[in-house]
């Protein structure tokens, strides 16, 4: 266990006192252990949104929002993005350590082996509406995997390892197939001779009449962007994955639920809305000052998308990396997006404004990632899908950690009931 008892706190209610242990993590986070609170006092805590509640111990991700620190298994996200490929970081989260050459080769072999989807599943794509959102298709297809690969139900370790590489590989294939479906183009099958990110780009943009080689700058950028999204502690979708998994639902069902959570505007959907915001500002003459003033007006519901974060009270470390990736991709393609100029002006002016400074509102990871994907040719409605591909190793790691917990418990929060008191049923013919 990484959490050890340090000291104790005393809770006083009237003439009664209760002692609560204070526990601490490896980086010094401290928490009150309230597991016996209701049994001993008859009370529960009230914490809407669980912003002050720790739901689990975890060895996966550490965040210090006040100082802008994000680490996976102890490694700074900036260093991993600079020196590793996405497949290596996925291995790190799932297995607990970075792979050596042999381990990476075997992991890559398994990813290639499981990259195809069952041919019967391909027929599903033709029956979705033409305008179906890719995230809806993605969640439905992932939960369908359990019907085609039910052996996970036996819960043997080898089955879980097989399923982990299967879902990591197949989700990428399903995402690319859903994009091709939206275009009305024939699907492109994965190739055994391409790396993970190269394979995805090829499935997305290759066709019977287009056989351009994969741009290594774009493949490198995709590796980095996916790494930035790999995990983010107990965020909404990861919490959903753990909650669904705590009911002993299989990995596919748990991941599908996480995809649904990620599709929300306040979670993974934010990068799509950043692009839409920048397009709207440009359509209105590029008036950045006007957008900032609207965001500051408490009577106006308008917000600057991609600014601020529930956890970070300093600059999101992922945003710095994402900004540089964006510039590198635009330099490599030789096509400058006018939205980048608007984004940079918006960032500069917002960070210089006392309103944003006092509220610790900095660009988050969503602010620049959408611009980069747009430059790579990935459409706006696919941006959240890209987030899901990156976040998948984190979801898998969270699910495995939850299943391996020595004290697994089904997630079941309490509530404070505020409805009417006991009522008596009035016969229907006497009701007003």
- For 279-297, the pLDDT digits (tens) are 999 998 888 999 999 999 9
Q: How far apart are CA 107 and CA 48, in angstroms?
A: 41
Residue 125 has pLDDT above 90, yes or no: no
pLDDT digits (tens, 9 = 90+) for 40-86: 899 889 999 898 899 999 999 999 999 999 999 999 999 999 999 99
Sequence-ordered alpha helix ranges (H) in 247-365: 251-262, 270-283, 288-296, 317-333, 338-351, 354-358
Q: Is 7 a catalytic residue?
A: no
Q: Provide the pLDDT for residue 28.
A: 85
Q: How far apart are CA 22 and CA 40, in angstroms?
A: 17
Confidence band for 157, pLDDT divided at 50, 70 and 90: low
Residue 74: its H or E element: none
Confidence band for 264, pLDDT divided at 50, 70 and 90: confident
Helix 236-246 vs helix 251-262: angle between axes, to the nearest 10 degrees?
150
Catalytic one of 120, 366, 381, 405: 366
> Is 243:408 a contact under the CB 8 Å cutoff?
no
Catalytic one of 229, 232, 309, 316: 309
Residue 114: how many other CB atoms lie within 10 Å:
20
Question: Who wins on pLDDT, 317 or 271?
Answer: 317
Confidence band for 149, pLDDT divided at 50, 70 and 90: confident
Q: How far apart are CA 108 and CA 99, in angstroms?
A: 11
DSSP 61: E
Q: Is 366 a catalytic residue?
A: yes
In the chain, the domains with their CATH numbers are 4-54 (2.20.28.60), 76-403 (1.10.580.10)
Confidence band for 2, pLDDT divided at 50, 70 and 90: very low
Q: How far apart are CA 298 and CA 296, in angstroms?
A: 6
């Amino acid at each position: 266990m990484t959490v050890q008892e340090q000291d104790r706190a005393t809770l006083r209610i009237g003439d009664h006192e209760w002692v609560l242990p204070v526990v601490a993590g490896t980086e010094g986070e401290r928490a009150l252990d309230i597991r016996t609170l209701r049994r001993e006092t008859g009370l529960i805590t009230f914490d809407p949104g669980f912003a002050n509640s720790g739901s689990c111990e975890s060895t996966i991700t550490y965040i210090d929002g006040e100082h802008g620190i994000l680490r996976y298994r102890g490694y700074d996200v900036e260093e991993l993005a600079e020196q590793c490929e996405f497949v290596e970081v996925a291995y790190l989260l799932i297995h607990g350590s970075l792979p050596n050459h042999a381990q990476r080769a075997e992991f890559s072999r398994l990813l290639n082996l499981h990259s195809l989807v069952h041919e019967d599943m391909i027929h599903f794509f033709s029956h979705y509406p033409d305008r179906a959102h890719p995230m809806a298709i993605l969640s439905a297809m992932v939960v369908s995997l359990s019907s085609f690969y039910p052996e996970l139900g036996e819960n043997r370790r080898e089955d879980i390892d097989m399923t982990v590489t299967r879902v990591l590989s197949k989700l990428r294939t399903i995402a690319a197939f859903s994009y091709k479906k939206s275009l009305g183009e024939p699907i492109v099958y994965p190739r055994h001779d391409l790396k993970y990110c190269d394979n995805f780009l090829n499935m997305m943009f290759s066709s019977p009449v287009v056989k351009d080689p994969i741009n290594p700058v774009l493949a490198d950028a995709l590796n980095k962007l996916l790494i930035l999204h790999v995990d983010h502690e107990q965020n909404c979708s990861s919490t959903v994955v753990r909650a669904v998994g705590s009911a002993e639902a299989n990995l596919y069902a748990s991941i599908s639920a996480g995809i649904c959570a990620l599709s929300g505007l306040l979670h993974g959907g934010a990068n799509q809305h950043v692009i839409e915001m920048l397009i709207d500002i440009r359509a209105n003459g590029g008036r950045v000052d006007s957008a900032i003033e609207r965001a500051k007006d408490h009577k106006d519901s308008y917000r600057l998308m991609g600014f601020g974060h529930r956890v970070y009270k300093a600059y999101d470390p992922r945003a710095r990396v994402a900004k540089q990736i964006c510039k590198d991709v635009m330099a490599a393609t030789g096509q400058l997006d006018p939205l980048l100029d608007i984004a940079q002006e918006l960032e500069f002016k917002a960070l210089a404004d006392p309103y944003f400074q006092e509220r610790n509102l900095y660009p988050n990871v969503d602010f620049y990632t959408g611009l980069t994907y747009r430059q790579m040719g990935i459409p706006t409605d696919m941006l959240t899908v890209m987030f899901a591909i990156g976040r998948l190793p984190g979801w898998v790691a969270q699910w495995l950690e939850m299943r391996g917990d020595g004290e697994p418990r089904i997630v079941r929060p309490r509530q404070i009931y505020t409805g009417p008191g006991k009522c008596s049923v009035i016969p229907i013919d006497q009701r007003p």
